Amino acid sequence: MDATLTDRYVDAVVRTIPERQRDDVAQELRAGIADQLDARLEAGEDPDAAERGVLTELGDPDRLAAGYSDRPLQLIGPRYYLDWKRLLVLLLWIVPVCAVAGVTLGQVLSGATVGGVIGAIIPAVITVIVHVCFWVTLVFVILERSGHQTVDPTPWTPDRLPARRATGAQLSDLVGGLVWIVLLAGAIIWDLTRGFVYVDGVWTSFLNPALWPGWMLVLIALMLAELVLTARAYRRGRWTVGLAVVNTALAVVAASVLLGLQAAGLLVNPAMYDLAIATGASDDLPNVIGALTAFTIVGVAAWDVIDGFRKARRP
């Protein structure tokens, strides 16, 4: 069933409201829209036109959400605040992640230890966040003081409503998590028994066989914990901030274990390096593979954390 304009409007309002208020705000807002809509229909308006008229009068859902949450729109000024906020949030989701990826790759390629990588990431991220906040805010202050219009100065209309997002914890999340664990476990077993890397007519494993059974059991336990968390969210009918925090902790632990193994030279099979170098590969191959592996670990963990909080924001 397609979502109505009212459904999309309510979703757009409650997505930025604290979780404890969402149900009450959604119920109150729907009741208010229904009352205004009934009044317009009794006056003889077309149903579609009446719905659009009610929502247009209510205005920008982000501005209405700020009223429900008692958040003043005064940092930049009411005229530009929402444009400033939207751009700043978007950049803070993208730029620090890119900075982490770049610093991590550069530090690993230079042979830095895990502690050295972390020590380089923290000041870099803080610096990036400060610069993003400062320069975006400065641009909007200049725009406001100079009297320039923003890119889109037209009044808000229901045509700007985003498509309705999936709500709650989806069955596809649970099934996808189970399939992912089965495929990953199968790939690990195949790699350790048959090998995934083909060098000079020989199949060899990418992962260090010494990981089995101790460290492999630890990694499988972390994957199962992730699946249990997804199942709990599905049983509750939605992801919460608490579940997203637990998901973050699991992602950090898993990434820390993998990065620690990588830094100690225990993650990747050393025999693979020896075989590749003996057949003409560069002596720098371990550093390159190590950098790519670390970059992948950090990237997957970051995405898992972001995805958990994104699901928690579903109305």
Query: Mean pLDDT for each 10-residue chunk of the chain (315 residues)?
Result: 77 79 85 88 86 86 74 59 78 81 68 70 86 84 61 64 60 70 80 76 82 84 86 80 89 90 86 77 75 83 84 71
- pLDDT value for 248: 92
Amino acid at 203: W
Q: Which residue from 179, 185, 177, 264 is spatially nearest to 227, judged by alpha carbons?
A: 177
- pLDDT value for 253: 92
- pLDDT value for 152: 52
- pLDDT value for 249: 92
What is the pTM for the complete model shown? 0.53
